[in-house]
Every structure is written in structure tokens, then in C-alpha cells.
Structure 1
Amino acid sequence: MREVPTTEFTRNFGRYREIVQREPVAVMSHGRATGYFVSALEYEDLQRYKNLAQKSFATKNLQREEVDAIASGRMSSEHDHLNDLMDAK
């Protein structure tokens, strides 16, 4: 990731608008990042990830049927050694 001082970023915004299509740019002030300039695609990805994280839930809120469905789940046969670990009690 490229780091650039705030004044440089401001003076050459057009240049960094092109660079950000290849890599994020950290905008620095007094030796620390005060913001990040990212491409529209990267920003959209970030928003998607944030929305997915908001859809998480506490397992204590699961219904009994959901717990049973998860417990009875199995991986493909190539992972039988892991299934065996789950079956060991």
C-alpha cells in the first residue's frame, strides 16, 4: 500500500485517483494514517463484507431444530477424518 502526505494527496488528487485503481493509498498526517483512498470496487467489497458481518447472530439464539441440523452436518468424504473427530465423544 502506498503512503502519501495529505498535502501531496491534495495537490495531486488526479494522479492518486489513477493509482488507487491498482492499490489503496494511505493518506498520512504527522506520521499516521488519517484516511485511506480506495477504488470504488474495493469500497463496494468492503460494504458487502460489513453487511455480511451484520447478519451474524449469537448461537444461543438458535432454535433447537437449527442446532440439530448443524450438529448432523457432515463434510464430504475426503474429510472423513474430521467427521470422525466430531463423532468421538
Structure 2
Amino acid sequence: MTSTAKAVTVSKKFGAYQDAAVRDPVIITKNGRPRTVLNAYEDYLRLTRRDRCIELTSALGEDDLAAIDASEMDGSHDHLNAKLL
């Protein structure tokens, strides 16, 4: 479960909040407002891997759309279907 802590408290007990962030993200507030989040490194890596360039399908030409429609995924990637569920 995500926890919330004041910035001044986190600065005084940083080690404890680092340990807590390994289990769940810690939202750090300043002046009563959420400002930053302390995350586990593994979570950071997972989130940055999700960065991707997005383009509108309306920007694709007919040849591109036909190529996408005709494409098939290599069977070695079948395990990725489980991630969609």
C-alpha cells in the first residue's frame, strides 16, 4: 500500500523510507501537496521500459496499414500474450 510522508520527515529518516519504498512507493509531500515519489529501482526500470513513441494510425499510409495487417508475430514471442491479460 502506498504511503505518504512529509519531506521534512523523509529527510530525517531517509533510510527507513528507502526501505519502505522497496516494498511500496512513498509519496513525499511539501506544503501539504504531493511533490515526489520514492520508488524501488526495479519499479523505476519497469516504468522507463514502458516509454515509447506513439504515432496516430491516421498518419500511416495505405502501404503501411496493409503491411501491418499482413504481419504475423514470431512464435517465440507467444509468452507476451500472457502480459496482455
1:69 shift after superposition: 4.4
What secondary structure sits across from 1:42 in the alignment?
helix
1:43 shift after superposition: 0.8
Taking structure 2 as the reference length, what is the TM-score of the superposition? 0.70
2:48 counterpart of 1:47: yes
Residues in 1 aligned to 2:3 and 2:70: alpha-carbon distance in whole angstroms: 48
**Structure 1 equivalent of residue 75 of structure 2:** none
What secondary structure sits across from 2:55 in the alignment?
coil
Gap regions ≥5 residues in structure 2: 72-85
What fraction of aligned residue pairs are identical, expressed as a percent?
21
Gap regions ≥5 residues in structure 1: 74-89
Question: Number of aligned pairs?
Answer: 70
CA offsets, 1:29-78, max 9 Å, x none?
1211111100101111111112x2xx2112132131232345578xxxxx
Runs of 4+ in structure 1 off by over 4 angstroms are 69-73
Greater Rg, structure 1 or structure 2? 1
